[in-house]
Homo-oligomer: A and B are copies of this chain.
């Protein structure tokens, strides 16, 4: 069996953490990964745009569609001022490949405790990944009082339903896992729960549709209905509560933009953005992507934390049917974090990106 992975480092530290993740994938013993690995290096990003006039070349999309079983994306830089014709390649990728849910597990562990976080967190954020303000349907106008601009925020029943289904399914799956490995290992110990984030006190139509649809998923499926609790949280209170009671959440499902903000906030609670992975998931494809950005301030210095990218690679394996290999990576990362002697500067250490990758490989 063959597993071909597209690698899209894109900008900044993406070019350091994606090779690190590749190194870990290649180090997997054949006893845990029952597939022959292949890699395809692909272009995208702001730097690529500056040279070639496009941020997400058609060839990259074609190669992903025809040659790859999944992909890993690094990070993109944001232009520091408006640039005509530029559009974020990761946002494009999500839409073009219909990767409708962005799955972001935020789990504290040894590293979080070391960096001073007070309460444990074990939360899975499901971020709707194709619409909301990310449809990028914007126009600028000239009015009597000067210029004004309008962006459209789109929320559909279909996208909300798909995100909701993912959330409830994951809540049951996490619960199954807890039963399997035992409660002691997990922070969240209650019944499976899905928290629906919205702001329907202001956006009664769009967020009203979102909330009603996600609730509808719960109500119409007996397994969800009987087995999973559901609660709602306004997005502003969500950010507040997440910091006051990080251990009060299991699965959290949110429209695209709220999900973006919440996941960065949650990352602050586990000690570093450099630890938090994600998977952009569709019915037929998955793109692993660290939650962090391209970090131009530290790019090129071999000090970026590769763990988010390495964990994203594990999520990719998990979603393509290689659960044992995924688990081997998660465990190796946990060992390295628990040992604590090999850490990049964001976690208070002085190790290099490559040293962390080497260390993870040793523990596979």
B200 and A82 form a contact (CB under 8 A) = yes
A148 and B143 form a contact (CB under 8 A) = no
* A49 interface hit (Cβ, 8 Å): no
Closest to A272 in B: B244
Contact stretch, chosen from A24-32, A183-191, A202-210, A279-287: A202-210
Closest to A77 in B: B201
Closest Cβ of chain B to A296, distance in Å, is 12
Q: CA–CA, A147 to B155, complex, Å?
A: 9
* A225 interface hit (Cβ, 8 Å): no
Closest Cβ of chain B to A318, distance in Å, is 25
A243 and B269 form a contact (CB under 8 A) = yes
A150 and B261 form a contact (CB under 8 A) = no
For A200, what are the chain B residues with a Cβ–Cβ distance below 8 Å? 78, 82
* A140 interface hit (Cβ, 8 Å): yes
* A265 interface hit (Cβ, 8 Å): yes
Q: CA–CA, A123 to B152, complex, Å?
A: 31
* A58 interface hit (Cβ, 8 Å): no
Residues 121-139 of A at the B interface (beta carbon under 8 Å): 133-134, 136, 138-139
- A209 with B268, Cβ < 8 A, contacts A153-B153, A203-B151, A239-B261 known: no
Contact stretch, chosen from A13-21, A230-238, A308-316, A351-359: A230-238
For A212, what are the chain B residues with a Cβ–Cβ distance below 8 Å? 82
B140 and A209 form a contact (CB under 8 A) = yes
* A47 interface hit (Cβ, 8 Å): no
* A57 interface hit (Cβ, 8 Å): no
Closest to A241 in B: B268
* A91 interface hit (Cβ, 8 Å): yes
* A118 interface hit (Cβ, 8 Å): yes
B139 and A153 form a contact (CB under 8 A) = no
Contact with B along A19-61 (1 / 0, CB 8 A): 0000000000000000000000000000000000000000000
Residues 169-207 of A at the B interface (beta carbon under 8 Å): 199-206
A236 and B208 form a contact (CB under 8 A) = no
For A153, what are the chain B residues with a Cβ–Cβ distance below 8 Å? 133, 150-153
For A235, what are the chain B residues with a Cβ–Cβ distance below 8 Å? 260-261
* A267 interface hit (Cβ, 8 Å): yes
A234 and B78 form a contact (CB under 8 A) = yes
Residues 234-254 of A at the B interface (beta carbon under 8 Å): 234-237, 239-240, 242-244
Q: Which residues of A contact B (CB under 8 A)?
A: 76, 78-79, 82, 86-88, 91, 116, 118, 133-134, 136, 138-140, 143, 145-158, 161, 199-206, 208-209, 212, 234-237, 239-240, 242-244, 257-258, 260-261, 263-265, 267-269, 273, 293
Q: What would 13 A/B residue contacts be, using CB atoms closer than 8 Å?
A: A88-B202, A134-B202, A140-B205, A145-B156, A145-B158, A146-B161, A147-B209, A148-B155, A149-B154, A150-B153, A199-B257, A236-B263, A239-B265
